[in-house]
Amino acid sequence: MGDAEQRWQRMLTAELGDPVRARLVRLVGDGLFLAALTGPPPTSGEVEELLRHLGLRTAAPI
């Protein structure tokens, strides 16, 4: 893991309180970025659904 990835991982771990969950969030973010580079980006609804599945959202945003 490079320096930038390690810093990002530390920040996510500090925010989420769980290194495994932080890695999962980081990898999902990487996948969303790649998807946007190679085709149509995910819709905001799709992103919200992913966030709910990860337990990072409990309701639709206001």
- Asked whether the whole model's pTM tops 0.75, one would answer no
What single letter denotes the amino acid at residue 61?
A: P
Over 60: is that where the pLDDT of 44 sits?
yes
Per-chain mean pLDDT for the chain: 86
Angstrom distance (rounded) from CA 11 to CA 3: 12
The predicted model gives 40-56 an average pLDDT of: 85
Return the axis-axis angle of helices 3-16 and 19-38, rounded to nearest 10°.
120
Show me where the domains of the chain are located. Answer: 3-53
Percent of the chain with pLDDT over 70: 90
Token pair recorded at residue 36 = 């946007």
Confidence of residue 59 (pLDDT cuts 50, 70, 90): low
| Between 55 and 40, the higher pLDDT residue | 40
